[in-house]
């Protein structure tokens, strides 16, 4: 399982998803150009010190990402322009969950390249959720379905009261 960000605009969202990928042990692809300067300073606040733990691959553009994508992977686009809710989809362990630019989504050619297009059901009148939150919601369901969460070391002891 991987996350992919198409030309992200907001460094805080990218940092949050870097942290998410590090904590859940998945890879993250960033398809450039980004709408911000890629730097430790831009990503540090939301990514904290997780950027060193994350497996991040930066791609110069969409063509470079497509060329590097494993043949067995499916590209799953999260978009408000889909008809199928993510909760009705059957995920596979090799899937790549693609999130579009916060300001513009993805171009038509990227829509056409996707193997599936999924949406998050929302209340009437709502336009969209935060990109990092959307990615985390759908990733959680995909990892649940594929038993892809990291294995816990066992229950954590609760501090005693008193």
pLDDT of residue 51: 72
Tell the CATH superfamily of the 2-146 domain.
Answer: SPOUT methyltransferase, trefoil knot domain (3.40.1280.10)
3-state percent helix, strand, coil for the chain, nearest multiple of 5: 35, 20, 45
Domain spans, the chain: 2-146
**Percent of all residues in the chain with a pLDDT value above 70, rounded to a whole number:** 88
- The pLDDT tens digits for 119-137 are 999 999 998 899 999 999 9
- The pLDDT tens digits for 84-133 are 999 999 999 999 999 999 999 999 999 999 999 999 999 999 988 999 99
Cα 99 to Cα 133: distance, rounded to the nearest angstrom: 11
Q: Which of 78, 66, 95, 90 is nearest to 134 (CA)?
A: 78
- Residue 102, both tokens: 């916060």
């Amino acid at each position: 399982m991987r996350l992919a960000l198409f030309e992200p605009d907001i460094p805080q969202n990218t940092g949050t998803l870097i942290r998410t990928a590090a904590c859940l042990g998945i890879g993250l692809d960033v398809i450039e150009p980004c709408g911000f300067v890629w730097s430790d300073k831009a990503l540090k606040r939301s990514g904290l010190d997780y950027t060193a733990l994350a497996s991040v691959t930066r791609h110069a553009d969409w063509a470079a990402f497509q060329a590097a994508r494993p043949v067995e992977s499916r590209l799953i686009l999260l978009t408000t322009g889909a008809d199928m809710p993510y909760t009705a989809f059957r995920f596979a362990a090799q899937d790549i969950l693609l999130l579009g630019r916060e300001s513009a989504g993805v171009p038509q050619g990227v829509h056409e390249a996707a193997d599936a297009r999924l949406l998050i059901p929302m209340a009437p009148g709502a336009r969209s959720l935060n990109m990092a939150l959307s990615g985390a919601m759908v990733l959680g369901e995909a990892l649940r379905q594929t038993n892809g969460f990291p294995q816990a070391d066992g229950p954590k002891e609760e501090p005693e009261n008193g």
